[in-house]
Homo-oligomer: A and B are copies of this chain.
Amino acid sequence: MKVMAVDLIDSLCAIVGSGHVLTGDAAAPYCEDWRGRYSGSALAVVFPADTQQVADAVKLCAENNVAIVPQGGNTSLCGASVPLPQGVQIVLNLSCMNRIRAMDASNYTLTVEAGCTLESVRLAAEQANRLFPLGLTAIASHCEIGGNLSTNAGGISVLRYGNMRDLVLGLEVVLPDGRIWDGLRSLRKDNTGYDLKHLFIGAEGTLGIITAAVLKLFPRPQAVATACVAVRDPAAAVALLAHLRVTCGDKISAFEIISRTCLDLVFQHIPDTREPFAGKHEWVALVELSDALLVSLDAPLRAALQAFGESVVESAVTADRDQSEIWWRLRKNISEAQKREGVSIKHDVAVPLSRVAEFIAEASAALRAAYPGVRIVAFGHMGDGNIHYNVSMSDAEENKAFIEQHEHDVNRIVYGIVHALNGSISAEHGLGQLKRDEIRQYKSEVEMDVMRSIKHALDPDGLMNPGKVL
C-alpha cells in the first residue's frame, strides 16, 4: 500500500509537476475545514493547471481506485471540501485554474475556470460594465466559482437574481472516469436532451469535478436605495416584504432580517458599529431597492414604508453608499461576531416565505421551554424564507456543556419544526459531512433512492468525494 501510494504520487507529479503536489505537513492546511470542525488527512494535495491535467489525474486515481476530494477555496460550512481522516484520499485543488476564459459582453456571459475567486469574477464583470450578482456577504475573496457551483451558493441577492444554479448557462466537467464533458454552452435556450449541468450543480463534487463555467451577467444597477427598518416582529417583516413587492415590484434586491441578539453581538465584538436608531428594537430589516436605470429610488421607498403603517416602528432610508454600508456592516458582521463570541449550534434553514414568522415563533418557544435561558441568534435572507438560526448559551462554560449534551436534541427540535412546515434543513450550505446522516430523517426513501441511482450511474466505484452528501 505504501509503495502504491508513492507510485501514485510520482504519477501525479508527472501530470501536474512536482511543485504542484503537496504531501505531509504541507498538505495539512488543505485537510482542515473553514470552521475548524473537520480535520482529515490526504495522500496528497494536487494543483492541476488545466482541464487536461484534471482529467489525467482523475483517470489515474480511477485506475488505482483512489478517492478524490475536489476543493476550491475550502470555505464549506459543512465539511464538504476536506478529506476524511483515513488518509487514503487525494485532494484535488482547483485554485490554480483561475483564468477568465472569455468575456462576451453583448451576450451577457462570462466564461471562467473553477478556481477563479468569486471576487475576481465580480470584478471581471464590473470591468465590462456588467454585474455578476452572486452575493456572499463575507467570503467573496476566498470562495471559488467551482465551490459556488458545487454548493449552489445563495447569499443576499437570491431574491432578485436566484441561486448560483440560476446564474449558469454551461459547464465543463471532468467525469469520475476522467472523461471531459464539454458543456460550455452560452445559450439562453437549449432543449436538446437532459440538462446535465443541473446534476453537477449542488452535487458537492460527488458526481464529477466542475472545471469551468459560462456565467450569466446582468446590467449593472445604476441606482440603489437602502432602508433600515425596525419592525415589531417577524410577521410584520413578512407583511412588509409582501407590501413592498406590490409597491416596489421587482426592484427589491435584498430583504434581510436581524434580531436584537445579533445586533448586540455585533456591537460587542465589531469595532465602529452602533445602533441604527436612537431606541433599541427587537427586529431590524434591511431592504435594498436597485434599478438598472439612474432613477430616484429613495423617495418611493420612503413612501412605501410610510404607507405600510404602524407595523414599521421606525425607519430610515438612504441613497448614500456610505450610509448604507454602515447598516450593511451590521448584517455582514454577524457571523464574525458570533465566531468571536464562541461556538453555537448552527442551522441554515428555509421554509416557504408565508411560514417564516411561524417557524421563528414555534422554534423559539420550543427551545425556550426545553432550555430556559437559551440564546437564539436568528438572522438572514428573509426574502427567500432562509433563516440562519443559531442556538447557544450566553455563559461560555455553560455553553460548552450545553452544546456537548444537547446538540442532537436541539437539531431535532429545530429540524422537526422546519420539516413540519415543508422546509429545508439546508437552505444554502449543502450537506457535506455535517448533515449527511441528518438528511435521511427528512428525505423520503424514494428520493434517497433516486439520488443513489444517479450517483451509481455516474460514479459506480464511489470515488468522487465519498462520505459527503449521500
Contacts and interface: CB of A to CB of B under 8 A. Distances in A.
B443 A189 contact: no
B426 A386 contact: no
Contact of A246 (B187, B219, B355, B446): B219
Contact of A199 (B162, B198, B424): B198
Given A166-B166, A249-B293, A446-B175, A199 B194 contact: yes
B249 A196 contact: no
A219 B192 contact: no
A199 B151 CA distance: 18
Nearest to A460: B453
A293 B218 CA distance: 21
Interface residues of A, number: 92
A108 B353 contact: yes
Interface stretch (A37-45, A176-184, A306-314): A176-184
A287 B328 CA distance: 37
A190 B421 CA distance: 14
A251 to B, nearest CB: 8
A289 to B, nearest CB: 11
A250 B195 CA distance: 26
A442 B179 CA distance: 18
Interface string A86-125: 0000000000000000001011110000000000000000
Interface string A220-253: 0010000000000000001000100111111100
A183 B187 CA distance: 28
Interface stretch (A8-16, A268-276, A428-436): A428-436
Contacts of A353: 106-108, 188
Nearest to A245: B219
Contacts of A127: none
B175 A450 contact: yes
A381 interface: yes
Nearest to A165: B195
Interface in A182-223: 182-183, 185-196, 198-199, 201-203, 207, 218-219, 222
A10 to B, nearest CB: 29
B456 A189 contact: no
Contacts of A363: none
| Copies in the assembly, this chain | 2
Contacts of A180: 446
A401 interface: no
Given A250-B218, A293-B249, A422-B185, A109 B193 contact: no
B453 A458 contact: yes
Interface string A354-397: 11000000000000000000000000010111100000000000
A218 B248 CA distance: 12
A222 B251 CA distance: 14
Given A108-B353, A181-B444, A424 B245 contact: no
Contacts of A207: 194
A350 interface: yes
Nearest to A197: B198
B426 A192 contact: yes
B458 A151 contact: no
21 contacts: A104-B352, A159-B188, A175-B450, A181-B444, A181-B446, A182-B444, A185-B422, A190-B350, A191-B426, A192-B425, A192-B426, A192-B439, A193-B202, A193-B451, A195-B198, A195-B202, A196-B447, A199-B199, A249-B292, A250-B292, A454-B457
Given A187-B424, A193-B447, A219-B250, 19 more contacts: A106-B242, A107-B354, A109-B352, A154-B191, A175-B446, A181-B446, A181-B447, A188-B386, A190-B350, A191-B427, A192-B439, A193-B439, A193-B470, A194-B450, A194-B451, A248-B293, A249-B292, A251-B293, A454-B454
Interface of A: 104, 106-109, 151-152, 154, 158-159, 162-163, 165-166, 175, 179-183, 185-196, 198-199, 201-203, 207, 218-219, 222, 238, 242, 245-251, 291-293, 300, 350-355, 381, 383-386, 422-431, 435, 439, 442-444, 446-447, 450-451, 453-458, 469-470
